[in-house]
Structure 1
Amino acid sequence: MSRATRRIVVAHLTDRGMSPADIAAELGVSRDTVRRDLTETPPPAPAPEPEPAAPVAAGLLLPEGTQLRQDLNVLTAAFRARPEDVARFAIHQAAQGVRHHWQARAAARARQREQAQTS
């Protein structure tokens, strides 16, 4: 256990009412170590987590990237629309293409099955 972690645990156990001797026995350290941990300044608070990137579209978070931003700017200018609307349109178009591809594959498999059954 690191020193910083031990200091946090010692402070927590002290707050819960444990004596330094009990804490020392629990952690397998000397009472002097526990006393020293209690008298030293508390460890620094953990750094706050960074704020998430601003959403590109309402309800949709995308990783920030130069190319993504440039592409979104081009589409926004071309369609004269809000970034949210452009992102929605682009996602819809991409999904529509995938749907057509899946439908074509399913139809081809059905034709192959029909041909296999008639042969």
Structure 2
Amino acid sequence: MKNIGSYLMIGALGALLAGCATISNQTKQSVALTTSNGKSVLATIDGEKVTLPAEVEISRADGAVVQVLAQDNKCYENTQLVIKGKNKVSGWFWGNILTGGTTGSTTDAISGGMWSYANPNFIVPVDRKSSCN
């Protein structure tokens, strides 16, 4: 009878930890964006305007496209930085394999919570127009 209680406790713990990378990491990660010249610019990240430098949340699975547009920044050329998702498998995911098995790891894979950015600091290239001093 004691063994059944132990198995139930282990099963309950596994159920609680199922999808723990998704729960712990969430599906987005905070990353720092700076410009190559250290100046402040207005950027568009997946359709949303953001003043750089900034810390922003981006999808762990899908990544993001950061654009500096001439129409928003008078003395700059159009440039962009593509941040690829699915950069590195999170340690939480491996823990989930051990404790939650296929249920937890499948949840993490589908949600994107299994991924993380190895280096969450990105430099956005910016090019000043030669006509601006």
- Name the TM tier (shorter chain): under 0.3
Normalised to the residue count of structure 1, the TM-score between the two structures is 0.24
Q: Which has the larger radius of gyration?
A: 1
Greater fraction helix = 1
